[in-house]
């Protein structure tokens, strides 16, 4: 399998990206190939010397860089030789089986949509992210690919995320919930009400109904479906709140005394690790005709390594094939809405 990694993406590029790739290299099979893509002279200082250079690792030069805050579509148009643009193009022409980036999310999504096109039967791709919760992992889709969402998009996110949760996370019959603002069918906006009808109509989806914001973390569901704007707020709010709360606890403990703080450190570390969103490696762009993982901008080597291992599993599990097959027999048609 050929796995490409964007060496220029994220706050810790290229050093942590290269480090993650080298760590993954040790865990992959001999026949797997890892490709670092980015500005060659910026990557090379972080690579081992010629004598210790691992086999199955190569570098593809991409002289341009898309910044984290650049406007995606314009950046892609201007910087055709950037790692993101080049990587998506090469993946689409079959040179890579899967691609990974911790760079500009919007640019990654746009590049993949532009080059790979959608899977057969899929109207719009969505980003799925798996969050560790107090009740087990929950896959949330979409977290920001699509902010003009229609009921058919949400229905397809439910289908794709179910396949993903089953094959990637080993959850046999994933419980799918629709993000709403009250458990009753009558509550929510028009999008939620219409989506609910589509989900109710498909007996093959284990649809458990609407959930509220508070239910995401308590083990009620395995998959939570929402439009990209809401999902993005959910994801970033969760990150900000968890980080803030841990900082507040740390400060309170330090105010109490260093000895007490030291005693609680291992307990806090354990909790932090248990609910660490870096564990799952990154978010999947579900629905494109290819395999693309988008990592958090703050990703360090461990996340990159986890993302590489996850992306290999994603391809091996033939998730895209299963999605296409499911949608081809679904009674809910792409032009339903």
Residues near its own copies, by CB under 8 A: 69, 71, 106, 133-134, 144, 147-148, 179, 181-184, 186-190, 192, 212-218, 226, 228-230, 232-245, 247-249, 252-253, 256, 260, 263-264, 267-268, 270-271, 274-275
Give the shortest CB-127-to-its own copies separation in angstroms.
11
The answer for residues whose C-beta is within 8 angstroms of residue 251's C-beta and 6 or more apart is: none
14 prior amide bond cis, ω within 30:
yes
Q: What is the torsion angle, in degrees rounded to the nearest 10, for the CA atoms of residue 166, residue 168, residue 169 and residue 171? A: 10
**Nearest distance, CB of residue 45 and its own copies, angstroms:** 32
Residue 151 near residue 191 (C-beta atoms within 8 A)? yes
Distance of closest approach, residue 175 Cβ to its own copies, in angstroms: 17
List the beta bridge partners of residue 139.
130, 223
Q: Residue 244's Cα: distance from chain center in Å?
A: 23
Q: How far is the CB of 95 from its own copies (least distance, A)?
A: 31
Between 242 and 309, name the residue whose CB sits nearer to its own copies: 242
Q: How far is the C-alpha of 231 from the C-alpha of 319, rounded, in Å?
A: 22
Query: Whole-number minimum distance, CB 268 to its own copies, in Å?
Result: 8
Whether residue 142 has a cis bond before it, omega within 30° of 0: yes
CA distance 186 to 251: 44
Q: Which is nearer to its own copies, 184 or 203 (CB)?
A: 184
Give the Cβ contact number of residue 124 at 10 Å. 19
Nearer residue to its own copies within complex by CB, 20 or 144: 144
Q: Which one, 119 or 234, has the nearer CB to its own copies?
A: 234
State the minimum distance, in angstroms, from the CB of residue 189 to its own copies: 4
Give the shortest CB-6-to-its own copies separation in angstroms. Answer: 19
C-alpha distances (whole Å) from 197 to each of 17, 63, 76, 172, 215 are 44, 49, 38, 24, 21
With respect to its own copies, which residue has the nearer C-beta, 238 or 292? 238
Contact 308, 28 (CB under 8 A): yes
Whichever of 50 and 259 has its CB closer to its own copies, that residue is: 259
Residue closer to its own copies by CB (options 217, 322) is: 217
């Amino acid at each position: 399998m050929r796995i490409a990694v964007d060496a220029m993406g994220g706050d810790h590029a290229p050093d942590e990206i290269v480090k993650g790739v080298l760590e993954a290299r040790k865990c992959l099979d001999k026949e797997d190939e890892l490709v670092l893509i980015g500005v060659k002279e910026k990557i090379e200082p972080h690579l081992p010397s010629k004598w210790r250079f691992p086999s199955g690792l190569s570098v593809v030069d991409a002289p341009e860089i898309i910044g984290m805050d650049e406007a995606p579509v314009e950046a892609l148009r201007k910087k055709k030789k950037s790692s993101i643009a080049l990587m998506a193009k090469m993946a689409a022409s079959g040179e890579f089986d899967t691609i990974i980036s911790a760079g500009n999310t919007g640019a990654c999504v746009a590049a993949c949509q532009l080059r790979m096109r959608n899977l057969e039967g899929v109207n719009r791709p969505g980003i799925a992210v798996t969050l560790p919760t107090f009740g087990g992992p929950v896959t949330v889709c979409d977290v920001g690919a699509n902010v003009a969402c229609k009921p058919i998009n949400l229905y397809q996110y439910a289908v794709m995320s179910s396949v993903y949760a089953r094959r990637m996370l080993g959850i046999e019959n994933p419980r799918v919930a629709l993000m709403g603002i009250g458990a009753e069918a009558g509550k929510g906006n028009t999008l939620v009400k219409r989506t609910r009808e589509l989900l109710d109509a498909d007996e093959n989806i284990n649809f458990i109904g609407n959930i509220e914001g508070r239910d995401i973390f308590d083990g009620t569901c395995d998959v939570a479906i929402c439009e990209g704007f809401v999902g993005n707020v959910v994801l970033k709010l969760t990150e900000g709140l968890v980080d803030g709360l841990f900082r507040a606890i740390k400060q309170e403990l330090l105010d109490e005394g260093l000895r007490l703080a030291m005693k609680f450190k291992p307990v806090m570390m354990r909790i932090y690790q248990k609910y660490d969103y870096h564990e799952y490696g990154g978010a999947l762009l579900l629905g494109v005709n290819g395999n693309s993982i988008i990592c958090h901008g703050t990703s360090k080597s461990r996340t990159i390594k986890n993302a590489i291992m996850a992306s290999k599993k994603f391809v091996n599990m033939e998730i895209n094939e299963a999605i296409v097959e499911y949608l081809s027999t679904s009674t809910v048609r792409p032009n339903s809405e």
